[in-house]
Amino acid sequence: METIFAPWRMEYIKGDKPDGCVFCKCSIRCDDYVIFEGKTCFVMMNKYPYINGHLMIIPQRHIGKIEDLALEERTEIFSLLDTSIRALKEAMNPGGFNIGMNLGKTAGAGIEEHIHVHVIPRWEGDTNFMSVVGEVRVIPEDVAITAAKLTPLFKKNHQEV
């Protein structure tokens, strides 16, 4: 039997859950995981990812409804989506992507008060027996290492809108 270690999860499981929005600069945002700052939005590694390279595109403004996005924010979200895909392809060579938003608690939003877009790279066969049978996800690379690979690629690939 193999042993799989994911030590970064224990910090979250046992740690205090701070008040406030984890995405807001004025609060407790995890700046170590922010890999790109745009004019109205930023890109952040998911600290507790579904799979390696799981990114989130997040408006700087604290808003919970897509219909409250300004045109500039909407435009930048799609520009950063393009940049995210380019950077992930170059760094990790995924076979495809899941891209989506969970709007509202009923839809599965873990942080419904601050909208964000998930960008999840996928590989053929990346859902293995661990997730299917054991209900465990295996993330083969530390999130900080993935962030270090992607950060320069965002600077290289991003085009201002």
Catalytic residues: 116
SS3 124: coil
Compute the chain's Rg from CA coordinates. 16
Spatial distance between the Cα atoms of 47 and 59, rounded to a whole number of angstroms: 17
Q: Torsion angle, CA of 118/94/76/49, rounded to 10 degrees? A: 30
